Structure 1
Amino acid sequence: MDILTLVGLIAGILIVILAMLANATLLTFFNLPGLAIVVGGTFAVTLIKFRLSSVMSAFRLAFSATFTDRVERPTDLVREVSELARLVRKEGILGLESHETDNPFLRKAVNLCVDGHAPELVEEALAQEIQQTTERYEVSERVFRGIGDSAPAIGMLGTLVGLVQMLNTLDDPSSIGPAMAIALLTTLYGAFIAQLIALPLADKLQLKAEDEQRNQLLIATSIRNIMRGENPRVMAELLSSFVNPEHRKGLVAEREA
């Protein structure tokens, strides 16, 4: 589990709530009409921009990807594919059949190799998988950035609604307070949704997409070299470009050992 994402989200919300409770109660900042304007308006604008299936997929991917640390470290993948290369040199391509892995992309690549498909077909299938995965992350990121852009704008719209209501009822002092509450709280709701939820999740999705794409490219490059019969030591040296410089020393030491 990606605990830092969860901690950051909860900490941000708690800080704002504690600031609200400093000299008031939560009920002071709760206004149902203003909340309905921001949440309902933002949801409506999001449905206009995107398909409902894309919105639902974005939320599923956000909660499954941003709150779980499922992306493997490149160093672990380099070790695993290097072991696969050594296995193929000893037992042939069918030796991969006995290998078990938790990485679904690597599992798919291994299955394609074991089934005896041509290298060109394997490379094309893996390239298509990389492209589809990248597109899913991009759509999800765009959905949350769209929410982050729409929520403050809808909040300002609610502010204008509240101001108009207030100006139309200046002769009734009892109505000024509720109208002013809508005017101010809708801006607060819009900024809250955008800055504490939508935009941070969009940034995290972008980061996860980059990590996922890097790992998939590493695996695709490895499988291509394995099918070409590349020397495992040479392949590991080529794959070191996917690893951060500070982590390469450990891989070099392992190859020399």
Structure 2
Amino acid sequence: MISSHNVLVDQAFRTPQFWLLFAVLFLNVTAGIGVLGQASVMIQEMFSDRVLGAGNGVTAAAAAGFVGLLSIFNMAGRFFWSSTSDRIGRKPTYMIFFALGAALYFLIPMFGNMGSLILFVAGFCVIMSMYGGGFATIPAYLRDMFGTANVGAIHGRLLLAWSAAAIVGPSLVNGFRDRQIASGVPAAQAYSTTMSIMAALLVMGFAANLLVRPVAQRYWADTRTPAAHPGDD
């Protein structure tokens, strides 16, 4: 999966690999950033005094600490997962992101229904580490696919996926939560549908990553400087 050839930015834009990686980044970021903005509200609603009993619910201060913890795992994941990808490869690393992330999104509502705050926090910490790791690993994935000649420019175009995900992710979480509550679903249970949708997005990301193959030879570009010949000016 590591190419020894270069693909120029305009050619890379025409390859199926670029758009598959665009989908990979978009779906990974959508699932991660969608819950990050609602993390404080989510933990307070799922583990409120009404659910756990008076005096046992998560306070606003504790919820702020939870958000801070997620930020730490987001940062740490960038180091851990990018280093892991150097050992096992970019494609297998993203397969872990999507498979493990989908499983955790399915399980998190169950953790909330069980009243297990520890499992809930641990699950989201792992998800946030993979969110950060996905963002940090994508430049190396692009280098493997398209070579080093134009990887910076290719990465710049691919970041459009991050920008789109920053809009779609929070909109999905907020929209479905508000609809659930408006239809009479208790706030503590309003995230079950949203978590299932996030899991489905990650399954789609897994499929997109699975389809990534080396770039076809017709897209390669020879970027070496031609050797000089005697008599050339």
Fold equivalence (TM over 0.5)? no
Report the TM-score when normalising by structure 2: 0.28
User: Which protein has greater RCO, CA pairs closer than 8 Å, 6+ apart?
Assistant: 2
Larger Rg: 1
Q: Judging by fraction of residues, say which structure has more helix.
A: 1
